[in-house]
Amino acid sequence: MLCFFYGRNPSNFQQDTVLQHARMYGARSKEDMAVTRLHTTSRIYSILVRMNDLDEQLREWFLEGKDKDNPNAVFVGFDSNIKPCATQKIKVSNALTLKPQMRKLPVGFWTGTKTAIHKTIEKIDDLITSSPDYGHQDENGFFSIDKDTVFEILRLIETTYVYDAKFGNADKKNDIKELQCALYYCLEQSKGKIYALHRTDRNLNRIRENGTFIDAPDDGRTDLRPSREKAVDVPVIMFIKENGQKYVDPNGSGENIGWNNAPFYWPVLVSQEHITPVMFALDQSRKGKAAVVDNSSLLDGIDSDEVLKLTFDGDLEARFGEEGTEHHDDGCVETRGIKETVATRYILKDDDNNWKLAPGVTLEEEHNHGLYSKNNGVFPFVLRPYKYMLLRNGRDARADLMLLELDDMSKWTIEPREEIDGDGNLLDMSTGKPLINVHDTILDKNMGEQDFEAEDYCQWVVCYAIKKVVKFKRNSTDWNAVFAGIDNEE
């Protein structure tokens, strides 16, 4: 078939489904493509183009080896009209994203009976009202509170909640843990400072008339709006005390859409406006936790395209010096071997998606092995013209970060390395793993075999000259302790 009419136009496109539809194109030669026609609307066309872009971004992520840098989170583009796949397909990852002034709260929980939890609620009351600054509330009711007190309150609140399949909330049991993880990060950013808001005598049901869980115990006008105005450099935690009354559905179903006739606390965290976004996941299948942080706070005012982002094994300060250290011509370099999986990080491509050849340099066609061409010891490609290098000495949020200013490209060096093992494999300088096999067997006219090992293969190694340590950010959040504490509570 050479002509297609595609009119499927949902309000939100599901990418994995649409990509299945794309099989209709089939595998086509350039000659067939020249006469193939697809008819659709401008909106659908723009969505298809965007999906292709997102798919290419994800492909590049793996080709560049970024899944090895960040094994716990894959970042791809975002489009409000496109979902990557059905929600249930990614539900097990339980990924948590924290952005500026975002709300985090538990939803769907059930509570213990009044007899079972009333002493705990009284203890929470006392912890809040006996806080030293409780009597110094501002005009909207905010007061400073000790972070250890907040975590103790959250721990007590969690003991009053009940999760079970019969309450339809078994998949919500990690909500409080997610809130705690988010709070740990917010406090690291605010140097441990947090504001609290105490609200009482609230009467909100548990279930809406349409059957979904209510997720807004905070009043938009009197609670949320002032909380977001307050949460600029410091997070806000709202402790909202509900009366927890039972309420039978007035529509005749007989279902209790209220609570268990027991007062309880419903916490709501509002992250501060000035915060670096973070993503982390609680992997319920393995009980493993990991955090991945956006590095944008170190790149304020710097074009991201001018920054080479790499991981580093070791102590950054011991290697490059403290913030402000200048290296000038002392020979301080960071060396990286170029290999296929991450080559786009170091080398430019041309309009035809081939490695861009350096002006005035001829690539020997007779011995053209692409990226691994020794080319008589002359580097044939064009390096990316970075101005900075961002190093992280770990694969998640437990890492230290260092921003380095690179010296002029004329001071960078590029050299070929040819370490070949006994099996004829060209080995990677960093890992010692095979990159490509340079061994072959040649047949003569009498079909005689002769072993042959090419001598014009190499791995190109770039030595980036370092000029200055621009910024250094040592990780001050003990994520191991964060996650260990959560595991202990489980």
pLDDT tens digit at each of 490 positions of the chain: 888 898 887 766 776 778 778 777 777 888 888 898 889 887 788 778 767 766 765 676 566 665 554 333 333 334 445 555 544 433 333 456 678 899 999 999 999 999 889 999 999 999 999 999 999 999 999 999 999 999 999 999 999 999 888 888 887 888 888 888 889 888 888 989 999 999 999 999 999 877 889 999 999 999 999 999 999 999 999 999 999 999 988 877 788 999 999 999 999 999 999 987 665 555 444 444 445 555 556 777 888 789 998 989 899 999 999 999 999 888 899 999 999 888 989 999 888 888 899 998 888 777 788 889 998 899 999 999 999 999 988 766 667 899 999 999 999 999 999 888 888 888 999 888 888 887 765 555 666 666 656 678 899 999 999 999 999 988 766 655 555 544 454 4
Q: Which long-range contacts (CB under 8 A, 24 or more apart) does 27-36 make?
A: 32/2, 35/2, 36/2, 36/3, 36/4
DSSP 207-240: B-TTSPBP---S-IIIIIHHHHHH-SSS-EEEEE
In whole angstroms, give the CA distance from residue 2 to residue 38: 8
- What's residue 52's pLDDT? 75
User: Quick check: is 286 in a domain?
Assistant: yes
Are 126 and 136 in contact by the 8 Å Cβ rule? The answer is no
CA 233 to chain centre: 22
Domain count of the fold of the chain:
3
Compute how many other C-beta atoms are within 10 angstroms of the C-beta atom of residue 89: 11
User: Quick check: is 181 in a domain?
Assistant: yes
In whole angstroms, give the CA distance from residue 58 to residue 74: 8
User: Quick check: is 489 in a domain?
Assistant: no
In whole angstroms, give the CA distance from residue 172 to residue 109: 7
Whether 288 and 304 share a structural domain: no
Which tokens sit at 72? 């716990």
Q: Which amino acid is located at 446 in the chain?
A: N
| Residue 14: partners with Cβ closer than 8 Å, 6 or more residues away | 82, 83, 84, 85, 86
Whether 141 and 278 share a structural domain: yes
User: Quick check: is 480 in a domain?
Assistant: no
Compute how many other C-beta atoms are within 10 angstroms of the C-beta atom of residue 330: 9
DSSP 401-449: EEEEEEPPGGG-EEEEE--B-TTSEEEPTTT--EEEE-EEEEE-TT--E
- What's residue 286's pLDDT? 40
Q: Could you tell me the residue range of the domain that residue 113 belongs to?
A: 95-292
Whether 359 and 445 share a structural domain: yes
Whether 250 and 331 share a structural domain: no
Whether 34 and 160 share a structural domain: no
Whether 276 and 422 share a structural domain: no
- What's residue 489's pLDDT? 44
Whether 7 and 113 share a structural domain: no
Tracing tokens 């340590």 back to the chain, one arrives at: 469
- What's residue 252's pLDDT? 72
* CA-angle at 461, arms to 460 and 464, nearest 5°: 140
Whether 225 and 301 share a structural domain: no
User: Using CA of residue 372, residue 378, residue 380, residue 386, what is the dihedral sign?
Assistant: positive
Whether 79 and 129 share a structural domain: no
User: Quick check: is 374 in a domain?
Assistant: yes
- What's residue 270's pLDDT? 97
Whether 346 and 285 share a structural domain: no
Q: Which of 258, 292, 326 is the last residue of a domain?
A: 292
User: Quick check: is 169 in a domain?
Assistant: yes
Q: Which of 225, 258, 292 is the last residue of a domain?
A: 292
Whether 63 and 102 share a structural domain: no
In whole angstroms, give the CA distance from residue 383 to residue 354: 13
Query: Residue 428 phi/psi, 5° resolution?
Result: -70, 135
In whole angstroms, give the CA distance from residue 227 to residue 141: 10
- What's residue 92's pLDDT? 33
User: Quick check: is 237 in a domain?
Assistant: yes
Whether 328 and 390 share a structural domain: yes
User: Quick check: is 213 in a domain?
Assistant: yes
Q: Which of 292, 309, 342 is the last residue of a domain?
A: 292
- What's residue 79's pLDDT? 44
- What's residue 341's pLDDT? 81
Q: Output the CA torsion 220→222→225→227 (10° steps).
A: -120
Among 142, 96, 102, residue whose Cα is nearest residue 270: 102
CB-count burial class (<10 Å; 0-12, 13-18, 19+) for 371: middle
